[in-house]
Amino acid sequence: MLFDILTLFPSMFEGVFSDSIIRRAVDKGLATIELHNIRDYSDDLRHKTVDDYPYGGDAGMLLKPEPLAKALNDAKVRHKAHSPCVIYLSPQGELLNQDVVNSLLECQSLILLCGRYKGVDQRIIDRYVDREVSIGDFVLSGGELPAMVLIDALVRLIPGVLGNRDSAETDSLYNGLLSHPEYTRPEVFEGMQVPPVLLSGHHANIRLWQKEQAERITKEKRPDLWARYTSSKVSDK
Ligand code: 9WO
């Protein structure tokens, strides 16, 4: 999977990408991540200006359309073999959830546009952006952290990135439920026992217990997810 990131702050990504599962995916050749500084596409050679005042006289600054268009066209050329999906990270976007992550996994190449200040000129969104994605109903100082969140969520689903031991099929939310509780050694910690069924070695009972717990926790903590779970096709549960 190919990711092209357009940002004014490429160095923000270094720590996150040089660590963790994302690094492993890149090292294995399963993901390619390229960072491009929007400032390099400024048409103002002296000051490298990329922002300007919004029409209408509001406070704050906007990213000018011309450097963004150049950066996006350049990225599209790099992706010409595939048909890339251009994503703008913004609080106005569709809310990210596991279904959206799964659907984006179908795109072989993604161009992620990270805004700053008050965002980008609307004409960039109208002409160049395929999907606007939000990671939650809050405002950050830019789209960089949401882009990292999205890449992390995607990369771990690329076949071969996770080992079998922690395959994505057992993820919380993969099947629409929250996770069941997990325990490791010791059997007794500060007087609290590991549930005996987990020590029984009876795999069918263990699976049943885990499913009951996942359902109980989802019902308690996320009635919205529970409603969706119970109204979706029951035959494969
Ligand atoms: C900045 C600003 C300054 C003065 C007055 C109003 C203002 N609004 C904003 C603003 O919303 N800036 C955004 C910063 C523009 C797009 C990039 N930024 C961003 C993305 N913040 N939060 C996100 C984001 C993206 C995805 N999911 C959650 C949050």
pLDDT at residue 165 above 70?
Answer: no
Ligand 1 site, CB within 6 A? 59-60, 89-91, 115, 118-119, 134-136, 139-140, 142-143, 146
- The pLDDT value recorded for residue 11 is 98
Q: What is the mean pLDDT of residues 146-160?
A: 97
Mean pLDDT of the chain: 95
How remote is the CA of residue 51 from the centroid of ligand 1, in Å? 14
Joined together, the tokens standing for residue 4 give 């092209």
Give the closest residue to 12 by CA, choosing from 118, 139, 151: 151
Q: What is the mean pLDDT of residues 6-28?
A: 95
How remote is the CA of residue 205 from the centroid of ligand 1, in Å? 48
How remote is the CA of residue 116 from the centroid of ligand 1, in Å? 7
Give the closest residue to 95 by CA, choosing from 224, 237, 6: 224
The domains found in the chain, sorted by start residue, are 2-155 (3.40.1280.10), 170-236 (1.10.1270.20)
pLDDT at residue 83 above 90?
Answer: no
How remote is the CA of residue 143 from the centroid of ligand 1, in Å? 7
d(CA 146, CA 110): 14
Provide the terminal-to-terminal Cα distance of the chain, rounded to the nearest Å. 31
Q: Is the Cβ–Cβ distance between 137 and 115 less than 8 Å?
A: no
Joined together, the tokens standing for residue 172 give 């919380």
